[in-house]
Amino acid sequence: MNEIAKTAPTMTELIALSTDDAPLAIFRPGAERMIEAMTENLQGDVLELHQLPQAKVPGGGGDRFKIDTGGGATESDEEIIGVPLGFLNCGYLWGAEEMGDSEKPVLITHDFRYAYMENDDIGTLDADILEAARVETDDDKAWFDWNKLPYTEFGSGKNGKGKRAKEFRLIPILRPNKTLPIVVRVPPASVQGCDNFRRGAFDMAYYYHTIRLTLQTVPASAGTPEYSKIVFECLPDTLTYDQGQMLKGLYVTTLRERHDASTLDV
């Protein structure tokens, strides 16, 4: 697998691509120190999505993203602006009916086709149902057919609403003055809006564009509690072709490969 540190551009390449009005600082004059810092700080490590700062939508409504910056530190922000580096699938099935970030999911999928077992404490899940969806492989992990699980069907969620299994989109975003992306977890209530945005907002590949994410509070209605959904906006700032291609090689392809490494090819 490619490693971001090993694919970092040379100083000569950066200088050649630098423009004063680039939406990302790594493509502006004087960015050499940013790339040097990233290369030295990573020390050849393979970058994983779960190791990056995570931006999540607050539960119960709210207009600020909750950002976990690592080591127990958190911050919040009203908006996230930057260049998207991917729109990746991720689904979790917890042992408890209410999902919780403090507990490991029982099953994780990266493609909504097959899921691997992350936690063998299945909680209130039915062991026979899980066994019926098991896929026979030579892999060390236990794999399951995601779409054979009734927990992935609408109506299987709490009080017969939604799905018990939670399906997200993960969007790594490179912010203007950063060298490492932040990962925005798009919750189920915002997935359709995310997909519509991805399909219709861009006139070039998404990694040439700058986007803005904000939160909108949806009032409680018909037994559904108040919640927040993500509002997606495409901004006019774009990268040049060469800048976009470098960004693709530096981040987009690497992160996609790492994400796809946890899928099952059968």
User: Which region holds residue 237: left if phi is over 0, alpha if psi is between -120 and 50, else beta?
Assistant: beta
- Mean pLDDT of the residues in the chain: 89
Domain total in the chain: 1
Q: Which of 156, 136, 152 is nearest to 144 (CA)?
A: 136
Structural domain range at position 106: 91-160
More confident residue, 223 or 239: 239
**109 in any annotated domain:** yes
Cβ within 8 Å of residue 68, ≥6 positions away = 53, 54, 55, 56, 74
Q: Where are the alpha helices (DSSP H) in 140-252?
A: 188-200, 241-247
What are 114-142's pLDDT values in tens digits? 999 999 999 999 999 999 999 999 988 99
Q: Which of 251, 206, 209 is nearest to 22 (CA)?
A: 209
CB 264 within 8 A of CB 99: no
* Cα–Cα distance measured from residue 164 to residue 22, given in angstroms and rounded to the nearest whole number: 43
Mean pLDDT value across residues 163-184: 94
Q: Which of 240, 75, 94, 248 is nearest to 167 (CA)?
A: 94
**62 in any annotated domain:** no
pLDDT of residue 2: 40
**113 in any annotated domain:** yes
Mean pLDDT value across residues 9-31: 84
* pLDDT of 239 higher than 50: yes
Counting residues of the chain whose pLDDT is more than 90, the rounded percentage is: 65
Q: Which of 66, 74, 87, 79 is nearest to 197 (CA)?
A: 87
CB 182 within 8 A of CB 77: no
* 158, burial (CB in 10 Å: exposed 0-12, middle 13-18, buried 19+): exposed
**208 in any annotated domain:** no
R_g of the chain, CA atoms, integer Å: 20
The SS3 call for residue 188 is helix
**46 in any annotated domain:** no
pLDDT of residue 9: 61
**200 in any annotated domain:** no
pLDDT of residue 102: 60
More confident residue, 218 or 101: 218
What pTM was computed for the model?
0.89
- φ/ψ of residue 167, rounded to 5: -115, 125
**120 in any annotated domain:** yes
DSSP 27-78: GSTTTHHHHHHHHHHHTTPPP-GGGS-EEEPPTT--SSEEEEEETTEEEEES
pLDDT of residue 5: 46
What are 55-87's pLDDT values in tens digits? 999 988 889 999 987 767 678 899 999 999 999
**5 in any annotated domain:** no
* Structural element, H or E, at residue 84: strand 79-84
